[in-house]
Each structure stands twice: as structure tokens, then as C-alpha cells.
Chains A and B, each alone.
Chain A
Amino acid sequence: METHILKRDCEVRDVLLDYAKDGIFLEGSLLKLVRSEPEDEEFHQYLITAKQRDIDVRRKRLKITKQIQTQNDELAKASRVRDKLTDELEEALKISQENENKALSSYKKAEEVKENALKDLEVLQKKTRFKLMSLIVRVALTIIIGVGITTTLLYAYIIASGADTTIIETTWSNLFGILITNSFSIIGTIMGVRYANDKLKDIEL
């Protein structure tokens, strides 16, 4: 595109020079299309000043724009880092939540196992206790029956030998009464133990 010379007698030239006194200069693309006459030093200087001002303004704006651009780039970079960290945090939180759920599930299972173990232990303790009681009762009953038989045999021997039976008679009578009473008590206990054992078997099943 051709440039245009603004001659000395051109009204536009005078207007531009007049505006320049107030600090207003031509700028932008139009400035590149205007030339002065070779001998027109005043307008030539005007164009040099206007071009320099235009370049200075653009340099200043370019510097600021680049600063903003750099800041934007840094912000974008920081935003990407933040997004990445957020993603990682969310992932970690998710894993943590899953682990917590697994731990909770394991804890519940452990609690169940513990409860079952405690129940088993209680049943075992009861079973052992009832077996011991049963043994004691059986031994006691055997002793009572043994004492009864022994006393009866002794009484029978004394009767057969014709000795005085006054003392042994009273003793045997009292002893037998006690033995029968105790026997019934023990039989009752045995029945109780058996009933309890049956109940235990039901619990175990």
C-alpha cells in the first residue's frame, strides 16, 4: 500500500500539528501511511515523535500484556496442580473409605467370632460343671449305698451272732433313714443334672 505525503499547504497537516501542541498525536496504522515533504522539517519531526510515542505506548502495553499472560499461565499451571491434588485427595479419600468399610466389616466379623467363642466357652464351662456335679453325685450315691449295705450286713451279722442289738438297731434305723433321705435328694440332683445336660445338648444343636 502506498504512503501519502501531507504537503505544507494541506489543511490536515496544520490540524495535526495544532493538536500536537495539546499532546494529541496520530497513531496506529494511519501513521504508517503518512509522509512529510523532504523540506518540511516541522512535520517530519512531528511524524518521528508520533511514531516514537506510538511505539512507546505499544511497548508498555505489550510488557503489561505479557506480564498478565505470564500470570495467567502460572494461574493455569497452579490450577492444574490443584486439580491434580484434588483428584489424588479424592482418590486417597475413596481408598481410605473403602479401607474403613473393610476394617468395619472385619471388626463386625471379629465381634461375631468373639461372641460365638464366648458362647462356646460358656457352654463348655457349663458342661464341665455339670459333668463334675454328676461325678460328685454318683460318687456320693455309691458311698451312701456302700455304707447302707455295710451297715445292714453288720446288723444282720449281729442278729445272727445273738449279741445285744439295742445300739446297732437304733443306729441302723437312724442311718437308714438318713441314707434314704439323702438318696432321694441325690436322685433328685441326678435328674436335675440330666435335665440340664439335655438342655445343653439342645443349645449345642
Chain B
Amino acid sequence: MIKSLLLVDDEELFHLVFEDACNILGITLSIESVNSSNEAEVMFRGWFEETNTRLRPECVFVDLNMKGSSFDGIELIRKINEEYGNNVVIGIISSSNDSEEIERAKEVGAMFWIVKTHDLEPRLESFKIDYDDYIDGNKTFTVYD
């Protein structure tokens, strides 16, 4: 089970859907949700600059396009991986299934891409099964669509 998970998504209603789905499936012990990539960047910068990284999440789900953010989810993943120490299982959760965007995400170090639809639970369950392989580095980039 994932110890702590961070969801970066501008849709607050989806926060509730995601949290409940994760709890029902027993995916994580704790979830924190933020509305923009800027907020997430500030958090990661803090964890990177401070020595206390206890609150740093194990896994991050990032939406692709977020209102009120100055950069998209893929750019956030690049920043986390290149500027703020990496060391998280990070990927995109988006309603988009655009192959160019998926390729872009892969290039910056995203580990997975989950297509956000009404029926999210089966995808999250598949992700839960694969999670340990992501931690061990045995899993290549996967699209859950």
C-alpha cells in the first residue's frame, strides 16, 4: 500500500472521487490534494530545500491541464524529476489520451499515464498491482486506458 499520495488536479469534485476510490481499493494510507501545479511545485521545492522530507509523498498523480496553473502537469513532472530530487512514483491522470502528450510525459520521466474516465476504479486497481514494480524500477512507462 502506498504510504502517502499527492493528487494535483484543478477539479475539486475529482479530489473526492479519487480519494474515495483509493480508499475503497485500499491503495493508500493518506491522500493530499492540491488544485494547481504551482502549489505542488512550492511543496516539492520546500521538501527539497528542507531536510525533513517526512511529508513528501511516495506517489504523485498529476492532471495534464489545470486552470489557475502557470504550467501544465508534464512541466511539473519535469521540474520534480530534474530540479526537486525525483525519488517519487509520478505520472499523469488525465481525460486526454493524446499520443503526443503521452510521449512528452514519457520524455520528462513520467512513469505512468492513467486515462481519467467515469469508470476509474479498474485502472487504479491495475496501477495498485503494478505499484511495487514501479518502486523497484522494474516497470516501464505504462498507459492505463
- Whether A1 contacts B118 by the Cβ 8 Å rule is no
> Which secondary structure dominates chain B's binding surface?
helix
- Whether A55 contacts B17 by the Cβ 8 Å rule is no
B29 close to chain A: CB less than 8 A: yes
Give the B interface residue count (CB, 8 A). 14
A59 close to chain B: CB less than 8 A: yes
- Nearest-neighbor residue (CB-CB) of B119 within chain A: A66
- Whether B20 contacts A62 by the Cβ 8 Å rule is yes
Cα A54 to Cα B20 in complex, Å, equals 10
Stretch at the interface among A68-76, A101-109, A129-137, A172-180: A68-76
Give the A interface residue count (CB, 8 A). 17
B87 close to chain A: CB less than 8 A: no
- By a CB distance below 8 angstroms, the chain A residues around B26 are 32
- Nearest-neighbor residue (CB-CB) of B23 within chain A: A58
Cα A32 to Cα B13 in complex, Å, equals 24
Cα A137 to Cα B14 in complex, Å, equals 104
- By a CB distance below 8 angstroms, the chain A residues around B118 are 66, 69-70
Interface string of A46-60 (1 = CB under 8 A from B): 000000001100110
Q: Name 13 A/B residue pairs within 8 A (Cβ), A-sorted.
A: A1-B29, A28-B23, A32-B1, A54-B23, A55-B23, A58-B23, A59-B20, A61-B16, A62-B17, A65-B13, A65-B16, A69-B13, A69-B17
